[in-house]
Structure 1
């Protein structure tokens, strides 16, 4: 297991930011999640919450941090004693996506710029197994790593004021799904009929950091059928446990 050179920052009066090398990398994510879980399982009573991003964790404390250097030492000691779980597992979620022109409102632009047919863009986007790096920006927004380099595409200079719930999008080196109708600066290539955040259940977002995502292309009739099944609570997201 690689020992990365971490940096520790006094982020606010009640929080510390720990940073890894600033790149999107699955080995770094693995280390981030191992350290995050080690902190949580340490049961340090002064820690309220631990959140992760691509290459950092934010540790929020119950009250104001009196001696920041003491807390840095505690965290550094925890990092040095972290242990990889031998039989770690995660879930692979199969997410239906309709890439119909009615939803893929930026497919034409990407197709022309990349000199790829829309069917080729769909193939490249849906044949990859993505990794959930973290959930943020909006509740249930999955930041996914693993996009084919041929589909890298810059964010829009002028974000849209609103896109549909379930919009599947590409922004620079990333892909993700907007869980709610919201402003959006990414390029929209399709739509998923699923609910990605449900505040009424214990786990509002079905996926978690470290899980895998596979997009399954569907036609527009299947899309509407799934929508109806979800409304009548007759649909379950296909998933399976795999080795992490």
Structure 2
């Protein structure tokens, strides 16, 4: 599963795959990212991950000789590192007062609320990358029965910790933001803390599972947060 190469601008070159996002493709993305830094570390400022892309921001304009080096690079074989086994448990309260779109989404999907919650919590999700907002996890693994288009008119304000569904994805808003996803619950944990290093507790390749909690547990964790649970 070798990538293709395209130059976007004089200082931006991209590796991309014509594959559907899954664990196998993610394994290749993370392994090729490591190979890029090993081979071109002195030339690359950063690598931005997408579901099917690695966009490399370069320090200087790409010359023809360097482009040939990149072309040879993508034709090589690299060693694949196994995906991380760490699994994070995210407590979520699926209360209509916290998940303002829970009732309307359940009606649109023709699912009762408990069935929607069950489908959302029985899946294990893989973190592919962070984007949109600092600490916003792009997750893969949402049950197809919960796929639903994003809102045509986004909300002006979504609260931090809001768990939402948009299209074929689910995610958590780490900070207050406008957004067009359907909010179905809320977590009391902090997803992004700029005072910590790193500011996000999880990494791409690791997994997420949503654990349903009561409103009472949510209020308790909001005032007395416990360390987030994880398993290897």
Structure 2-normalised TM-score?
Answer: 0.94
Which residue does 2:215 correspond to in 1?
Answer: 220
Which residue does 2:69 correspond to in 1?
Answer: 73
Which residue does 1:110 correspond to in 2?
Answer: 105
Deviation at 1:70, TM superposition (A): 3.0
Instruction: Say which of 14, 31, 36 aligns to 2:33.
Output: 36
Deviation at 1:227, TM superposition (A): 1.2
Instruction: Say which of 41, 44, 48 aligns to 1:47.
Output: 44
User: Superposed, which structure 2 residues align to 1:1-244 within 5 Å?
Assistant: 3-4=1-2, 6-21=3-18, 23-42=20-39, 44-67=41-64, 70-74=66-70, 76-77=72-73, 80-85=76-81, 88-230=83-225, 235-241=226-232
CA contact (8 A) 1:38 1:78 kept: no
Deviation at 1:89, TM superposition (A): 3.0
Deviation at 1:75, TM superposition (A): 5.3
Q: 1:57 to 1:89 in 2, by over 3 A?
A: same
Give the unaligned 5+ runs of structure 2: none
Structure 1-normalised TM-score?
Answer: 0.89
Q: 1:84 to 1:15 in 2, by over 3 A?
A: same
RMSD, matched Cα: 1.7
CA contact (8 A) 1:124 1:148 kept: yes
Counterpart CA distance in 2 for 1:209 and 1:88 is 9
Q: Deviations over 1:5-32 (max 9, x none)?
A: x332222221112111153222111111
CA contact (8 A) 1:17 1:58 kept: yes
CA contact (8 A) 2:19 2:25 kept: no
CA contact (8 A) 1:103 1:189 kept: yes
Deviation at 1:42, TM superposition (A): 3.2
